[in-house]
Amino acid sequence: MTNPFGNDITNDNVIEDLEFFDSWEDRYRYIIDLGKQLPAMEDSLKTDDRLVPGCQSQVWLEPELSDGQLNFIVDSDAHIVRGLLAMVMAAYNNKAPQDIIEFDIEDYFAKIDLIKHLSPTRGNGLQAMVKKIQTIAKENINSN
């Protein structure tokens, strides 16, 4: 399964789709459905060194730099967190490290009014995912 996030499904698509829904219950369903579109991560990659610290649920992240673009294989043991990962991947996947660093993720989350609709632990976990990806991008800034 190819990863549609960052290519066919972008942060602008996510914003536009979420604006369609009136209730946060419907938005949560959409976010969970987004997570179902993430390509599966092989169990062999679900190792402790790939776990994102600071997340309430288990979140695994495996970066790959190819042709100057960072691609991520991600997974979580929680449906809503897979959806949140998908939203982050829409913004960050298949992007140059510099583009990841320069992308205003806080503005993205603000446009969809996300953070205040998450529990504090989910919000902290989301920030931990973002921080981990931004750190990986900074480490790869001179690799392209």
Tell me how far apart the alpha carbons of residues 29 and 12 are, in angstroms, rounded to a whole number: 18
DSSP string, 90-122: HHHTTB-HHHHHHS-HHHHHHHTT-GGGS-HHH
Q: Which of 34, 55, 86, 96 is catalytic?
A: 55
φ/ψ (deg, to 5) at 18 = -65, -30
Contacts of 17 (CB under 8 A, 6+ apart): 30
Q: Residue 19, Cβ neighbours under 10 Å: how many?
A: 11
Active site (annotated) includes residue 55: yes
Instruction: Supply angle C-alpha 85, 86, 90, rounded to 5.
Output: 115
Which residues have a catalytic role annotated?
55
